[in-house]
Amino acid sequence: MTRTTWKSKFGFLMAAAGSAIGLGNIVFFPANAYRFGAGAFYLPYLIALIFLGIPIIIMELGIGRAFKKGFPSSMKEVAGFKGEMTGWFAILNSSVITMYYITILGWVLGMLIRSFSSLWTQVAVPEFGIEAGTAPIGISHFFSIISSPGTAGLVIIVWIMNIFCILKGTKTIEKIVKILVPSMWIFMIIMIIRGLTLPGGFQGLFLLFTPDMSILTSAEVWKGAFSQIFFTLSLGFGIMTTYASYLPKKSDIVNDGLSVTFMNCTFEMIAGIAIFTLLFAFSISPRASTLGMMFFVMPEGIAQFPGATVTIFGVLFFTLLLSAGLTSSMSLLETVASAIIDKFSISRKKALLIIFVVGLSGSIMFSLPHVIDPELNASGTLGLTLLDFLDHWAFGYGLLLTGFLQTIFIGWVFGADRLRTLLNENSKWTIGVWFNPLIKFLIPGIIALLLGSGIFSEFSGLYGHSSTGSIDNLHIYALVFWIFFAAGGSFLLAKMKGGTND
Ligand code: TRP
């Protein structure tokens, strides 16, 4: 099978930046920054970016361009069976993340549709004992969306949009990202101008950049920063390797990696400023879970805008979220598609059909009200859910674990020198020997430390959710499911015989 290539460098850069820029930039970053000491969060964030983010993105891009295969097959070239297993682990782990990511996008679509009109008026949600006017509008509408059977329809629409975007691989992806990614920048710039010019908005800026240094001794903050860097740069998903496998041999990988990182992190800073200024102008504290930020806190702020600007900014905000989410989720679906096609030599149509059926079922399951929250109540706070628990393992551990295995296999089995030769092939800035200890010791060392301290606090109950028994059980079920699905599944997939077209 001949592999398609990107039509232009611009197309590739927009696709990779589109993958990196997602909900992580617009809501997770500001929510994390607030939770972890606002200004102080930048320090661990920058350290994570320089020591982990940049080397790993360049490495992931490099092996894609070198082997021109999907992630598991590329990792097989790197380290044989265990490499391939790592590749499938990444695919399965990120598939879990993508299933609920798309469910969330279904809710975003619901809010977008409502933001044209009804979102700004009160609704009653009798299922949760919410009478009109008793809960903030964002909350009442969010509960009204999740309790409506129509939500499955929203999830189906987002899934169809995703499949449509990757229908012809790079060909369709390129067309879509060339429109969506630049528009996302325009929308964000409009939001930041609005935020900064609102009376009181500047205060948010101060808060965002006022460090609370005491927080730096907390292991949780460091783990938060490192996970944020992995998530925001789409690392540990196999995405960058897949996108780079469609690049021509002559491309400058070091330069491409730096460009994508720069676009992503600039967008994240701008988003942080826009959200903090908007919220502070209306004296709303951004202390919220990421879902709360998206569906409760931001609509609350926007609802206070004068006159018609409410509708304009509401539509703008949810369109921005949907576009950012779509360009991220499709990058992972393309990663899964290329992994299946490369291993089993089946047609693209068949691969997409499998992904659609399995993935959609997962996303619909995540959207069922009782799966969302077994203890759903009208207090306005969403309790801990299956989604949170799976997120805890798949996002909090899975991405870092992939990064750990990947650097170990590339640094030790494949060889750090060989990797450098391959990265330096066409690059203007060549990577020196200093890269070797980074890949072989520092990066896996830092990740092992983070994972280790995470597991330690897991046992010592720091993250324990000491509410009711049913929640504790759910926590264990989620862990068992995750281990079976991601670790067990990756073993089976790596063991399976591939197709004959190799
Ligand atoms: N980088 C994305 C973000 O910041 C995350 C992401 C990339 C993602 N690809 C994905 C999430 C695929 C889910 C599925 O939001």
Burial of 199-225, coded b for 16+ CB within 10 Å and e otherwise, reads eebbebbebbeeeeeebeeeeebbbbb
CATH number at residue 354: 1.10.4160
Atom of ligand 1 nearest to the CA of 94: 14
Q: What is the pLDDT along the chain (502 residues), one digit of tens a residue?
A: 568 899 999 999 999 999 999 999 999 898 888 888 777 888 899 999 999 999 999 999 999 999 999 999 999 999 999 999 999 999 999 999 999 999 999 999 999 999 998 777 778 887 776 777 777 788 888 888 888 888 999 999 999 999 999 999 999 999 999 999 999 999 999 999 999 998 888 888 888 888 778 888 888 888 889 989 999 999 999 999 999 999 999 999 999 999 999 999 999 999 999 998 988 888 787 777 778 888 988 898 898 888 888 999 999 999 999 999 999 999 999 999 999 999 999 999 999 999 999 999 999 988 887 666 555 554 444 555 677 788 888 988 999 999 999 999 999 999 999 999 999 999 999 999 999 999 999 999 999 999 998 888 887 764 444 444 455 677 788 899 999 999 999 999 999 988 765 4
**Ligand 1 pocket check: which of 26, 332, 363 to mutate, most ligand atoms within 8 Å of Cβ?**
332
pLDDT of 221: 87
Q: Which of 91, 94, 234 to mutate to test the pocket of ligand 1 (most atoms within 8 A of CB)?
A: 234
Distance 362 CA to ligand 1 centre (A): 17
Q: Is residue 490 part of a domain?
A: yes
Closest CA to 61 of 330, 498, 426, 412: 426
The answer to the question of residue 4 being in a domain is no
Predicted pLDDT of residue 467: 45
Q: Separation of 29 CA from ligand 1 center, angstroms?
A: 13
**What is the pLDDT at residue 380?**
43
Question: Among 231, 241, 293, 323, which residue has the most ligand 1 atoms within 8 Å of its CB, making it the best to mutate?
Answer: 231
Q: What tokens were used for 285?
A: 């504290």
pTM across the whole model: 0.93
Asked, for residue 234, whether it belongs to a domain, the answer is yes
Instruction: Give the pLDDT confidence score for residue 123 in this predicted structure.
Output: 81
78 touches 409 (CB < 8 A):
yes
Q: Take atom 8 of ligand 1 and give the residue whose Cα is closest.
A: 328
In the chain, count H helices and then E strands: 25, 0
Inter-residue contact 471 to 465 (CB < 8 Å): yes
Lining ligand 1 with CB less than 6 A are 19-20, 22-25, 97-98, 101, 231-232, 234, 237, 239, 328-329, 331-332
Distance in Å, CA 461 to ligand 1 centroid: 29
Measured in Å, residue 17 CA sits from the centre of ligand 1 at: 11
Per-residue confidence (pLDDT) for residue 47, from 0 to 100: 94
Report the residue among 233, 329, 390 best suited for mutation to probe ligand 1: largest number of ligand atoms under 8 A from its CB: 329
Q: How far is CA 410 from the centre of its chain?
A: 24
Domain span holding position 400:
9-495
Ligand 1 centroid to residue 94 C-alpha, Å: 9
Strands (E), 199-315: none
Measure 492 CA to ligand 1 centroid, in angstroms: 26
Ligand 1 atom closest to residue 23's alpha carbon, by position in its atom list: 15
Ligand 1 mean position to 250 CA, how many Å? 27
pLDDT at position 133 is: 75
Residue 487 belongs to a domain: yes
CA atoms within 13 A on the CB side of 26: 29
Q: Which two tokens stand for residue 183?
A: 């528009």
Residue with tokens 């782990």: 93
Q: CB within 8 A of 381, min separation 6: which ones? A: 292
Residue 322: in which H helix or E strand, if any?
helix 309-344
Give the atom of ligand 1 at the shortest distance from the alpha carbon of 332.
12
Task: Give the position of tokens 């995405």.
Answer: 239
Residue bearing the CA closest to ligand 1, atom 9? 328
Residue 501 lies in a domain: no
Instruction: Give the number of domains in the chain.
Output: 1
Q: Quick check: is 262 in a domain?
A: yes
Tell whether 2 is covered by a domain: no
Give 134 Cα–ligand 1 centroid separation in angstroms.
35
**Residue 232 Cα, ligand 1 centroid: separation in angstroms?**
7
* Atom nearest to 20 CA in ligand 1: 1
Atom 13 of ligand 1: nearest residue by CA position: 98
The CA 304 to ligand 1 mean position distance, Å, reads 30
- Whether 338 is covered by a domain: the verdict is yes
Rounded Cα gap, residues 95 and 299, in angstroms: 29
Ligand 1 atom nearest to CA at 331: 9
Contact present, 158 and 359 (Cβ < 8 Å):
no
d(CA 324, CA 151): 20
> Which residues on neighbouring strands pair with residue 211, listed in sequence order?
38
Distance between Cα 97 and ligand 1 center (Å): 8
